[in-house]
Structure 1
Amino acid sequence: MAETAKREGDAPGENEQDDAKIKRLKNDPNSDQGNGDASAFESPLSGFKTTTVLRDSAREKNMFLHGKLNDQEAVIILEKTPIREDTLFELLHCSRFNLDMSNDIYRTYQLQPPAHLNDIKTTVICPATEKHVKKYLLQETYLVEETGEDYRTITLPYIQSQSFSVQWVYNILEKKAEAERIVYEDPDQDVGFVLLPDFKWDQKQLDNLYLIAIVHRRDIKSLRDLTDMHLLLLSNIRKKGEENILKRYGLAASKLRVYLHYQPSYYHLHVHFTALSYEAPGCGVERAHLLSDVIQNIQMDSQYYQSRSLSFPLRADDNLLSKFKEAGKL
């Protein structure tokens, strides 16, 4: 992770300079931006003004921005897309190469690929809440060990006191949004779920396959709520999720990592399916719980996740961390 400081946005006069630069690009007949056709350059982010760079990573080739989009708080995530094997011929034969250095058997070039091979995946969250901004801000992290009693007296009251909206989840379940992205659905309201690609996956290669199974039931917040009453649900997700990933993408169950997060990023039960070869964010032992382990643990003890201690990371600015400190748990 690149070392990143909080960087302030535009200095006085810079916005005007940016506007002038955009106009030049739109009207430049030699520009790649639509060959002088201003309509080809219209951007849904033309009204965005950067306030801070929340985080960036040279290794992961991404950047997280906070600012205003048409006077609303917004977070924008920029990610360089992976190089795909099916584009290699065009990449190597149709790109412009500028030599940087040559020394004996070593040469380095700046490669400028055709525009359609130079994608940057862009995720926009607008209007963004303070929680969204904090989520992407580079911060110190602490490992919290939460007992069953801690959950009941600290975590659960905190969750209940907050207005964590999952309306976007209900929109998916009700087909009001992202219906075209659903790759499989079991409509049963007790053991059913929808399976759809996570936004982290570009759906162009299997090496970083990432899908999410979101349950139809709305009464299960997290791992802590699961008992033997939910074994049919969990087994159904595992079985049908793996079957449909094999059918659609040709990836066998032995090539998948299937797990739940604790703490989850949103409080509506969902299960992650990722390619085993992909080190997805949050797949480490401090947060990920394999679905197969969860099923076996509940089979041994129905109250397993109500009684056992669970460890999870919290960022320095997380209000839940403050609650644990106030209770003398850290």
Structure 2
Amino acid sequence: MAHYAAPKSIDALNSFRFERILNEDLLTHTLIVLGTLLASNGDQSTIHSGERVPAIIRVEKTALDAAQTSTFFGEKDGLVKKVEIVESTDIYTWLFGWLGENRECDLKINVICPATEVHIRKYTKQQQIMVRETPELYEQIVKPYILAFPASRTQWVENILTGISEQSKILFSSPAFLLLPDMKWDLKTVSSLYLLAIVQDRAIRSLRDLRHAHLPLLKDIRLEAGRIAKERWGMGNEYLRMYIHYQPSYYHFHVHIVNVNYEGGLLGMTVGQAHLLDDVISLLELDTPTSPGIFERLTLTYGLGDQHGLFKPMRSAMSPGTVLSGA
């Protein structure tokens, strides 16, 4: 019986004949493929004529070297040799970057400029604590924080809703909401499909503002997102995960729609932060048009980072012995 050795040269690898993809991990940028290689002996000197053996090849993009980040951009010796703009709206710009000529796209580049102190804190590595936001804490701490949020932080949303930017990307438009690809998606890889529904009603800032009267809006978002995904990418509702963040990254109500198998967004689907749209609809259906809203009455538990603007007041309010005014 011939001895079949693993390939140790580029010539041996070049005999690979692709059969199918076994796995794709978007979080680690890894592809695992099945195929065949020409059989060879132990020292790679002889390839058995025409005989092929099954082979699995795992391809993973290497990690970025933090020590090199200061040299990514520069007039003379920057490592990034080419960029292509994807979209730009208000202070946010998205680009693809190449580290050399004749290469596939190496980098997705997001730029925030000018960046505020709030942005800097948001993107700084954080330690989290779990907080229990009672209706009282919401009214006394969280709601004033949301209402004081500067309009400039959601100007890019306004630009989309008012037709200033990203109009060519809109997949569905109605007087109630827009549906479009999220900037995190490359618009090509269906396994990482990521859409966003943004509502027109500026009074709905977060999950806490949802009421029984909003049920038609939420059901329409679910219906149209499913229809668009099915018509354009062949993905029925059973392949979609639709959810709402609390706390959200910006206070204008929106719904995330992603491929249910998309693992690259797991950090945004943390227990406590992500609330499934189906569950939100079911909870609102327990209300009546005249009863206090269920999201007014719920205590919500979620993780809060130490750089978040709510961290200090919420931690202080939850300390033993703290008495809320009016409690």
Whether TM-score is above 0.5 comes out as yes
In the TM superposition, what is the alpha-carbon distance from 1:219 to its structure 2 partner? 0.9
**Is 1:322 paired with 2:312?**
yes
Aligned residues: 247
DSSP 3-state at the match of 1:133: helix
Task: Compare CA radii of gyration and give the structure with the larger one.
Answer: 2
Aligned mates of 1:206, 1:42 — CA distance in 2: 23
Distance 2:97 2:239 in 1: 25
Residue 115 of structure 1 aligns to a residue whose secondary structure is coil
- Tell me if the contact between 1:257 and 1:274 (Cα under 8 Å) persists in the aligned partners: yes
- TM-score normalized by the length of structure 1: 0.66
Identity, in percent, stands at: 37
| TM-score normalized by the length of structure 2 | 0.66
Q: Which residue of 2 aligns with 1:128?
A: 115
Distance in 2 of aligned mates of 1:8 and 1:160: 41
Which of 258, 276, 282 is the matching residue for 2:268?
282
Contact 2:161 2:200 in 1 (8 A): yes
Segments of 5+ residues of structure 2 without an aligned counterpart are 1-26, 29-63, 86-90, 321-327
The answer on 1:246 being equivalent to 2:230 is yes
Counterpart-to-counterpart distance in 2, 1:282 and 1:293: 17
Following superposition of structure 1 onto structure 2, how do residues 140-179 of structure 1 map, counting pairs within 5 Å?
140-163=127-150, 165-179=153-167
The equivalent residue for 2:205 is 221
Unmatched runs of 5 consecutive residues or more in structure 1: 26-31, 34-40, 45-73, 82-111
- One-letter identity of the residue aligned with 1:136: Y
Amino acid at match of 1:184: F
Map of 1:209 onto structure 2: 193
Contact 1:75/1:133 (8 A) holds in 2:
no
The Cα of 1:328 is off from its aligned counterpart by 3.5
**What do residues 130-180 of structure 1 show as CA deviations (whole Å, max 9, x unaligned)?**
111122111111121101111111100122233253111111011101111
Equivalent residue in structure 2 for 1:293, among 279, 290, 296: 279
Alpha carbons 2:245, 2:275 under 8 Å: kept: yes
- Tell me, in whole angstroms, the C-alpha distance in 2 between the residues paired with 1:128 and 1:246: 38
Match of 1:233 in 2: 217
Deviation at 1:21, TM superposition (A): 2.9
1:171-217 deviation line (CA, Å, top 9, x unaligned): 1011101111111112x2xxx21111111111111111100000111
Q: Contact 1:75 / 1:132 at 8 angstroms: preserved in 2? A: no
Query: Which of 120, 126, 130 is matched with 1:139 structurally?
Result: 126
- Give me the whole-angstrom Cα distance separating, in 2, the residues matched to 1:174 and 1:150: 34
Relative to structure 1, the CA distance from residue 7 to residue 219 in structure 2 (aligned partners, 3 Å threshold; closer, same or farther) is farther
Return the letter of the residue paired with 2:171.
V
